[in-house]
Amino acid sequence: MKTALRSDIGRIRLVNEDRGWSEILEPGFVVAIVADGMGGHQAGDVASRLAVDTFREALQGSTAALSTEERRTLMSQAILQANEVVFDTASNNEQYHNMGTTVVAALLSDDRAVIGHIGDSRAYQWREGKLKQLTEDHTLVNELVKSGQITPEEAEHHPRRNVLTRALGTDEQVEVDIRDIAWEKDDILLLCSDGLSNMIGAAEMAETLAEDGLDLNQKADRLVQLALQAGGDDNITVALLHHAEDTELEG
């Protein structure tokens, strides 16, 4: 497997409140996470950093010998542990009051991918030229779409499209969405903050991932550049994971 990770502050924000991390835990066993913090006064930066650091510590020592069900449990426990740390920090420090973060994470073995998420950071699967969104945004606008009150097209430009219905660290208890999918040779998994998905559409993402002339590193760079060209209104973080023959971490 190959991985590539990119994060950019964007054109508007003064602080990058996104945080990403990926690592090959052992051959054929890879983990990645993207978190998009919120809270102002750099509290969002603290929230996303705490979430990623706690998640990373919870995954240390994990082995590919785990069953899919055990990986689902591990993913859920790691994210819930991160929720506890962020919530406790916010509760005990006035300057971090109400801080929180989104999170989307993946645990990949040779044939299965376990995805966990809270908020509106997304996971996509690219397979044989087609891009499929794997996560469902925990947002007010998505609830309006599901209930038929607005169309998906209206949701894209809705003034409250960034209002979350669920986040990590804002409440003592939180529900984590967990799913697992088949992970096949040549698949690409894309994890991103909304700084990418709010700026460019699925068609542009798919076109970039399908570009044979770009390696994985360059594809991550291209996605960030497309978001910047579209306005760069937010921090942009992209993690790409490719089910390739060789195992390699790229930049």
Q: How many CB atoms lie within 10 A of CB 51?
A: 30
Q: Which parts of the chain register pLDDT below 50?
A: 247-251
41-90 tens-digit pLDDT: 679 999 999 999 999 999 988 998 999 999 999 999 999 999 999 999 99
81-115 tens-digit pLDDT: 999 999 999 999 999 988 999 999 999 999 999 99
CATH superfamily of 2-130+168-250: PPM-type phosphatase domain (3.60.40.10)
Quote the pTM value.
Answer: 0.94
CB distance 100 to 92 below 8 Å? no
Pairing of strands 2-8, 248-250: parallel
* Token pair belonging to 154: 């209206």
The domain ranges of the chain are 2-130+168-250
Pairing of strands 18-26, 29-38: antiparallel
C-alpha 114/C-alpha 182 separation (Å) is: 9
